[in-house]
Structure 1
């Protein structure tokens, strides 16, 4: 059986919010001008992202500064607004009639001045059991707000990225927590979507070392592991052949 996908970010978020994983889910709402105002007042920084979309395309970051000015970032461009109505008008031109989400901003850790998150790859093995195949870091390109490799991000090992922030013992504890999260997400999403066979969780770590699930990709890229984790790549390919993604 081929792997089924869940395309809607909102649908995946709603499923995970209604579970034991809710403490790892940033507050998320369907975009509206009113909700943006409310969430900016609460968090000062939010991400506005398309409900349907991949590779970080269309993602915007909105920040409300102490002087009540607003900053809108997309890609490498930045615009500043002194009035929220001007900000809302600009966002409306970017969104059009498409469904967008607002997500609580996470102040993620940095490595050498660049933000990073972690890609946790979980997959059904040949025994049809969820298994953590790999945890790799993704470091944003200079002046970018997303970490996607397709957007210029760079893959790094978990150990390399966390070394300035955690000792070896604490890094291992965090890895174990990430593995538990990955397996739990697999179990929860596949309850109502039996065809799911592979997931790529994008997880940010904040300055309190708390993990936040930013997104779950139901058809994650495989090719990156060929270079960065050849042993995991071989196992991923074997499993993908078993359930029909690869021949």
Structure 2
């Protein structure tokens, strides 16, 4: 049996669950029409390859005026009008691969740098029971909007203490994240039956709301070793 491991397939699986859909940023296949509709709704979107990893090819576009947009890639920023965006969307790479455009989650920050949460969920061989085995926070380097290039790896508790989020019940948040992570693992596990480990990237807002940015079926454990150090 052939499986698709792209972000789009995993998003569709999660979206079909009536509980998980409320934790997903709106995501659609990139096209001119879909892009303009989503950026008008949200003012900021992220474009990413469905089959990408480690943040490769991820771009953020923000509407900053009536005909003014900021394109943010790595540390590079460029301001242009609608015509400039149209030219950007017409680049050849977007015609060769499947790209997605996703509602940008306004991530909470630590010292003005956005951070997100990596949640590891695992199950043993021949077991049907998933367990949350680890959580940590990844803080983006100065000038970056994604955390794949992290300047700090923190415990979730330390990140929340240092963050722009105020008046949050950490224990309640931990429980909700665990419940949603387990539900996600069971849903994805029904399709990817050979997978025994899933890494979820979860974005937190200043209000304490959280969203599943994406799910990884081959997550690295290396960052957890950095946390122990």
Q: TM-score, normalised by structure 2?
A: 0.91
Specify whether residues 106 and 10 from structure 1 end up closer, same or farther in structure 2 by C-alpha distance, changes over 3 A only.
same
Alignment correspondent of 2:227:
228
Aligned to 1:142: 142
**Contact 2:125/2:196, CA 8 A, preserved across alignment:** no
Residues 4-19 of structure 1 aligned to structure 2 (within 5 Å): 7-19=5-17
Task: Give the match for residue 162 of structure 1.
Answer: 160
Following TM superposition, where does structure 1 have runs of at least 4 consecutive aligned residues deviating by more than 3 angstroms?
A: none
Aligned residue in 1 for 2:83:
85
* Secondary structure of the structure 2 residue equivalent to 1:38: helix
Task: State the shift of 1:185 in Å.
Answer: 0.6
Q: Distance in 2 between matches of 1:101 and 1:30?
A: 4
Number of equivalenced pairs? 223
Contact 1:5 1:196 in 2 (8 A): no
Q: CA RMSD in A?
A: 1.9
Gaps of 5+ in 1: 231-247
Question: 2:69 — aligned with what?
Answer: 70
CA distance in 2, matches of 1:160, 1:127: 35
* Residues 199 and 220, structure 1, Cα contact 8 Å, conserved in 2: yes
* C-alpha distance in 1 between matches for 2:215 and 2:32: 25
Q: Distance in 1 between matches of 2:45 and 2:195?
A: 29
Structure 2 portions without partners, runs of 5+: none
Moved more, 94-103 or 173-182: 94-103
1:182 maps onto 2:181 in alignment: yes
Q: Distance in 1 between matches of 2:125 and 2:5?
A: 25
Residue 22, structure 1, aligned to residue 21, structure 2: yes
* Alpha-carbon distance, 1:153 to partner: 4.2
Shift of 1:95: 2.8
Please give the secondary structure, in 1, of the residue aligned with 2:84: helix
TM-superposed deviation, 1:155: 1.0
Give runs of aligned pairs for residues 95-244 of structure 1, distance below 5 A: 95-125=94-124, 128=127, 129-148=129-148, 151-163=149-161, 164=163, 165-166=165-166, 170-229=169-228
1:46 and 1:63 in contact (8 A); partners too? yes
Distance 2:179 2:23 in 1: 12
Q: Give, in angstroms, the shift of residue 222 of structure 1.
A: 1.3
Deviation, 1:89, is 0.9
Contact 1:6–1:218 (CA under 8 A) maintained in structure 2: no
Alignment check: 8 A CA contact 2:153 2:226 kept: no
Using the TM superposition, name which of 94-103 and 16-25 deviates more.
94-103
User: Normalized against structure 1, the TM-score is what?
Assistant: 0.85
More RCO (CA 8 Å, sep 6+): 1
